[in-house]
Amino acid sequence: MSRQAGGLWPWMIQRITAIYVAVFTLYFIAVLLFEPPGSYELWRAWVAAPFNGIALLLCFVALLLHAWVGVRDVLIDYVQPLALRVTLLSLFALCFIATGLWVLQIVFGVMP
């Protein structure tokens, strides 16, 4: 891919993840309006259903990717010193990875 077209992938990731998060949010609102789980056990059962658990996990992955592309673009555009930019990008990457691992732990029920 040429250097001029280097922004195409982040642009596509931003748009695709925004669409997925929006669609899942509408689905989740519909669930809350028409069939809200009333207890902790019902919530666990809802998340344990294969479709819901995978869709929820994909939503968080999409959300983290969307946030990463946005933060990355802002830092590249507005933080000029290279060392500071790399440091901030690294810190955000670590935060997003930690958040992603935390979501995995929650969705797959590793926590008691």
pLDDT tens for the chain, 112 residues long, are 445 557 889 999 999 999 999 999 999 999 999 999 889 899 888 988 889 989 999 999 999 999 999 999 999 999 999 999 999 999 999 999 999 999 888 887 654 4
**CA-only gyration radius of the chain, Å:** 17
Determine the CATH number of domain 7-107. 1.20.1300.10
Is there a contact between 109 and 48 (Cβ–Cβ < 8 Å)? Answer: yes
Give the global pTM: 0.84
The residues, ordered by sequence, that sit 6+ positions from 36 with a Cβ below 8 Å of its Cβ are none
**CB neighbourhood size of 17 (10 A):** 22
3-class DSSP state for residue 33?
Answer: helix
Handedness of CA 103, 106, 110, 112 (dihedral sign): positive
> Token digits for 58?
């994909």
> Token digits for 37?
């789980």
Q: What is the pLDDT of residue 1?
A: 44
- Residue showing tokens 């922004």: 7
